[in-house]
Amino acid sequence: MAIINNLTDFNNITSNITSFSHAYLFSVSSLSTAYPYVKEFAKKIICNKKYQAECQEECDVCYQIDNEEYDDYYVVNPDTIGINTEEITKLLAYMKTKSIHDNGKRVYVIYGFERLSRDVSNKILKFLEEPEENVYALLITENIDKILPTIISRCQIISLSFPEKDDEDIILTMKKFLKNIYEKHNSAIAYINDYWGDLLVNRLLVYESFTVIEKIITNCINKYYNLNFNDNYVCDFLDNLTISQLINILEITNHLKSLIKQNINLNLLIDRYIIGVTRELIVCQK
């Protein structure tokens, strides 16, 4: 499994593909880190200019894929439990309709494929056995051992391994977000887009960002008890809180993170997070 550090490496690895299979199974070490690479591969399939290395920044097709606005690019993201049958039924029905674009190519992506139940996996298997013309599947998994062998046998395998670390930009952004709440309390709601704007395009990235917040708070608790802690997650302003307040904020984080799977409006969820954390900060500062 090759270590991939940037899109240039990825493009070099995939540049020898001269024609595309109807199905690819990406075996990855991190769903969120794989996200831009999967998009890049989808562009290669759909955009003729991209495939020929002639695509420029102004390409409408690639721009729409980047923003998940392209009609023939359909993405299913997992929640913390999995993907339900209704989502897959809707996906398969959509992929059987005709494309409105000239090239007619359609790509569907399923992240966290190992989280599908056996019944749902069999629905996908049937579709892979009788693929529609110009329809391409990109199935993404963090645990290929949990995928049905019959599905693996019908896919081209692309194995990617990324460095085992959280995105440094997300860590820095979440630190700034927490500091904004600490300093502005409920008024921090007015600044949500400053910290979450680019992340809100993908529910999975929001989930990963809340995971980073959990690590920041847990790290502060470990520091309080003189346990091992990671300097990358240290937020000095959190040292002013009591241990009970830190634990309460961690519980708020865990609870609202769990709600992401229920398709709650993400802006509303972050509003609720700011309000909940502010309540703990005000109690602490009295």
Residues 111 and 135: their CA atoms lie apart, in Å, by: 17
Question: Where do you find CATH 3.40.50.300 in the chain?
Answer: 2-161
Residue owning tokens 């299913």: 76
Please identify which residue in the block is written with the tokens 């700011």: 274
Residue type at 182 in one-letter notation: Y
Q: Which residues pair with 107 in a beta bridge?
A: 73, 136
CA distances from 213 to 50, 71, 223 (A): 37, 34, 15
Q: Which helix (H) or strand (E) holds 3?
A: strand 2-3
Give CA angle at 38 (91, 63), nearest 5°: 85
Distance from C-alpha of 275 to C-alpha of 271, rounded to nearest angstrom:
6
CATH architecture, domain defined by 2-161: 3-Layer(aba) Sandwich (3.40)
What integer pLDDT is reported at residue 1 of this predicted model? Answer: 44
pLDDT reported for residue 79 = 61
Q: How far is residue 133 from each of residues 75, 96, 123, 254, measured CA to CA in Å?
A: 19, 9, 18, 44
Virtual torsion, Cα 253, 259, 260, 263, nearest 10 deg? -160
Helix (H) or strand (E) holding 137: strand 135-141
Distances (CA, A) of 172 to 96, 179, 233: 43, 11, 9
List, in order, residues 6 or more apart from 31 with CB less than 8 Å away.
Answer: 78, 111, 112, 140, 142, 204
Give the CATH number of domain 168-285; options: 1.20.272, 2.30.30, 1.25.40, 1.20.1740.
1.20.272
Encoded tokens for 253: 């984080």
Residues of the chain falling short of pLDDT 50 = 1-2, 284-286
Other Cβ atoms less than 10 A from the Cβ of 89: the count is 12
- CATH 1.20.272 placement within the chain: 168-285
What is the per-residue pLDDT for 227?
Answer: 84
Phi, psi of 200, deg, nearest 5? -70, -5
